[in-house]
Chains A and B, each alone.
Chain A
């Protein structure tokens, strides 16, 4: 187990390193620079600005400087567009909002998904199953940038139950969480529910459940003690990709509901060619993704003793 953990930790570092390097060179290879404006600056001014941000250094030197700053000082550099603070500040202020949104959505999607999956499987081919699976198909087929605006249209504009946009630190408080969380968790709730249903059905057919029934255990004990644990495995292995997708989705959801999260900064900085902020956001996203995948791996091995990593 230890050896496995060490190995996958090294793999994580390698993935992260490749991601950072690849992004760094893609960003620099793009035509145009961060300080190209419609109004052409005098060459001397342009050169001074570029010198200030070390953009005139050879590419390799820029790369090495950047990497040393990250590795030894956790310093992501200064933003090219926002002059008030450095990149660390912008990420530190926006990341918690994105994380809050992401974790609540993932938790909701998992809990609801597993619950609905179990109910559907136990009531297979009866109305709870049909209802749940129809809802799930909608969740899989309707993109979240359709669900989001529709929710906004119905709940905020027509019924006026909720504010159209904003975030918990605004004057409307916690109710602003409702629509972004529903929008973001719905597609993954749907997938987890389908996955959960299929795997519960599979487990229900297995011998050890028959044994449990034959022993005369109550159905509650069978479902919660025996079925649940066995059927969670495929769901757990889906959590890694699901979290990656939720991170991606949160970029759109943040735009729709004006959440001051990292996704907004990411897209804006990509369009502004704000290299340092863009790279910073990218690195943070990669770290979150890689750590989540790692945790899912570990969780999987805890849940399933048959999986050994020797």
Chain B
């Protein structure tokens, strides 16, 4: 800390770009809340294996399509049974249950409350689980599936963006810094690739080579570096003739050093903003492909594949669509607000564009 003081004898300190941006971000309430939502999602995804949730693959065919509830599964199952009988009563225009039906319910209640299965040498009752988000058509816990689906969706968003941004930085920085013919040809290549219908190519690749996660990563990052490369190139060109770069060059710094030590750190703000806005679009694309049945395949799940599964049964079991859709939408909301906030924070003069 320096000992510079202002006229009121308060210590003065220089603001780094990051600290300055952080201060502005904190003032933007929506962006700041969004930041914590994103952190929360990331933490839940990271610690999913040690969270007290059920397995996302374990099927329990007695627990198919249970609605979300705070009660244990046996109570929910008895309620389902009662509802079934009530429906029948409505059809027969009765208001009272027959003794037979009452006995049937009591017997069922008795049965589910005392059912025992042996797991790892211990006798436990499988009906004592609580399904906060309900279950799907194979009796899997929706909460666990939404969390693990989110893990994959978020991972694809982050890793895909990272890969795409790295390729984009490399191409953009080299083209911008070296310039000349290389720049011309690289940018023509980018122009040509821009005109191609990527998603269709990605669909073809995934349909033909099988939908495993790695193929998905590659296919998505392969086509997403174009805009980053243009942005970075523009930034590098605008900086490469500035005085501090000239100073570095006159001291004998190599091109690589100038790019890595001087040009890229000064473009970091715009790259971070860009990457943040890229993440939701990656997640959207992944879920779009999974929705078509081309992305993630069973037993894994992503938000897209969960939504796709949920759409099939949405009339009778709306929670199977509602929870994954909600989880995904909230995350995308937060990411978009955070991206906008970061842009305003790093570049206060910027217009609020897309």
Residues of A bordering B, CB below 8 Å: 11-12, 14-15, 18-19, 22-23, 26-27, 30-32, 137, 140-143, 145-146, 149-150, 153, 157, 191, 194-195, 197-199, 201-202, 234, 238, 244, 247-248, 251-252, 255-256, 266-267, 270-271, 273, 278, 281-282, 285-286, 289-290, 293
Contact = CB atoms under 8 A, between A and B. Distances in A.
Contacts of B203: 251, 266-267, 270
Given A146-B325, A270-B204, 6 more contacts: A27-B208, A31-B208, A145-B311, A149-B307, A149-B321, A248-B199
Interface in B192-218: 192, 195-197, 199-201, 203-205, 207-209
A11 B333 contact: no
B287 to A, nearest CB: 6
Contacts of A255: 292
A146 B288 contact: no
A34 to B, nearest CB: 10
A248 B263 CA distance: 36
B9 interface: no
A293 B195 contact: yes
A286 B196 contact: yes
B172 interface: no
Given A145-B307, A198-B353, A22 B336 contact: no
Contact of A244 (B197, B310, B329, B351): B197
B152 interface: no
Interface in B283-321: 284, 287-288, 291-294, 304, 307-308, 310-311, 314-315, 318, 321
> Closest 6 A-B residue pairs measured CB to CB?
A30-B208, A270-B207, A15-B195, A141-B332, A141-B333, A248-B199
Nearest to B322: A150
A22 B201 contact: yes
B contact residues, range: 35 or more
Contact of B287 (A143, A198, A201, A281): A143
18 contacts: A18-B196, A27-B204, A31-B208, A143-B329, A145-B311, A146-B328, A150-B325, A197-B352, A251-B203, A252-B288, A255-B292, A266-B200, A267-B294, A270-B208, A271-B293, A285-B197, A290-B195, A293-B195
A137 B336 CA distance: 8
B353 A234 contact: yes
A194 B318 contact: no
A19 B328 contact: no
Nearest to B201: A23
Contact of A142 (B207, B292, B329): B329
B62 interface: no
Interface of B: 191-192, 195-197, 199-201, 203-205, 207-209, 280, 284, 287-288, 291-294, 304, 307-308, 310-311, 314-315, 318, 321, 325, 328-329, 332-333, 336-337, 351-354
A202 B337 CA distance: 21
Nearest to B331: A141
B interface majority secondary structure: helix
Given A140-B336, A141-B280, A195 B292 contact: no
Contact of B291 (A145, A201, A278, A293): A145
Nearest to A145: B291
Contacts of A282: 197, 200-201, 204
A18 B315 CA distance: 45
Contact of B329 (A146, A199, A251): A146
Contacts of B308: 145
B209 A31 contact: yes
Contact of A23 (B199, B204, B284, B325): B204
Contacts of B311: 145, 149, 256
Given A194-B352, A282-B197, A282-B204, A14 B192 contact: yes
B352 to A, nearest CB: 5
Contacts of A202: 351
A153 B314 contact: yes
A59 to B, nearest CB: 15
A273 B288 contact: no
A285 B200 contact: yes
Contacts of A247: 197
B318 A248 contact: no
